[in-house]
Amino acid sequence: MGERLAEEVLHMIKQRPNLRKISFVAHSVGGVVARYAIGRLFRPPRRDDADVVLSKLSVEESKGTIGGLEPLNFITVATPHLGSRGNKQVPFLFGVTAFEKAAGRVVHWIFRRTGQHLFLVDNDNGKPPLLKRMVKDYGEYYFMSALRSFKRRVAYSNVGYDHIVGWCTSSIRRNNELPKWEDCLNEKYPHIVYEEHCNGYDIEQCEPIVVEDDGSDKLEEELVTGLSRVSWEKVDVSFHTSRLRFSAHSVIQVKDRYMHSEGADVIQHMIDHFLI
């Protein structure tokens, strides 16, 4: 899907030669697909051999481009950035270890390769799982350079009642980093209950974090640490008082303008903060 999205973006750029800027807004697994696509589309900064030095390049060129365009907003909504394996990342499995392990074994029967990628059980010719590859620049794919090139990166997450994507995986947090939230912070956005700006940091600056001797935990820690090397705006959303709270995964993106209209304030928040 990521390759197909990259090709569609390039086709769109060719059809509209006056385009100068680009942003991505993606829901659920679409956020992972978009991260793959930008890694494919990223063009490193130009460095001409003799006449042009880096200090003379435009700001956009010095950071690299996405398909030749200036990257602005990269926004994900209820996206499983850390995958769906273990640690209650898929809430409808109730955090039962046996259920989570069983899901990892059979997911490819239902969701094919996408399921394997999300449960971190893919093994393409001995390569690490795709999500692990995507927290660094890997081969000809500039996954993290592409993500870093955007002026802002935003992760909208459901704090509860999202039975498909858990709070940790969508907000790129460890379980002990989940914040305490209040019912409403702003009358204009009644369903937004917490906001924070997380600065990026180098892995070398991090104190080592001890995790249980479990492959799933260690791999999840690698994903959190890798994605935290860039800054993120994290916006936490709650529909716990909504009559459609059990459909939070759809309400947060207003999948249906009539049925899921309670999520309109989240979309308005996105619009109000969108860089153009």
pLDDT in tens, the chain (276 residues): 899 999 999 999 999 999 999 999 999 999 999 999 999 999 998 765 334 444 444 444 557 999 999 999 999 999 999 997 654 545 544 444 544 454 444 444 444 566 677 777 777 778 899 999 999 999 999 999 999 999 999 999 999 999 889 999 999 999 999 999 887 778 999 999 999 999 998 654 555 454 454 445 788 999 999 999 999 999 999 999 999 999 999 999 999 988 999 999 999 999 999 999
What angle separates helix 29-41 from helix 2-15, to the nearest 10 degrees?
Answer: 60
CB of 235 closer than 8 Å to CB of 192: yes
pLDDT of residue 46: 73
Give Cβ neighbours of residue 276 (< 8 Å, ≥ 6 apart).
Answer: 21, 72
Please give the DSSP secondary-structure letter assigned to residue 14: H
* Rounded distance between C-alpha atoms, residue 179 and residue 167, angstroms: 11
pLDDT of residue 108: 47
CB of 190 closer than 8 Å to CB of 108: no
SS3 assignment, position 98: helix
pLDDT of residue 121: 78
Please give the DSSP secondary-structure letter assigned to residue 34: H
* Rounded distance between C-alpha atoms, residue 227 and residue 219, angstroms: 13
* Rounded distance between C-alpha atoms, residue 233 and residue 195, angstroms: 7
* Rounded distance between C-alpha atoms, residue 1 and residue 33, angstroms: 6
Give Cβ neighbours of residue 196 (< 8 Å, ≥ 6 apart).
Answer: 179, 233, 234
CB of 167 closer than 8 Å to CB of 178: yes
Bridge partner list, 26: 76
Please give the DSSP secondary-structure letter assigned to residue 141: B
* Rounded distance between C-alpha atoms, residue 160 and residue 194, angstroms: 13
pLDDT of residue 112: 54
pLDDT of residue 68: 95
Please give the DSSP secondary-structure letter assigned to residue 9: H
Please give the DSSP secondary-structure letter assigned to residue 3: H
pLDDT of residue 145: 97
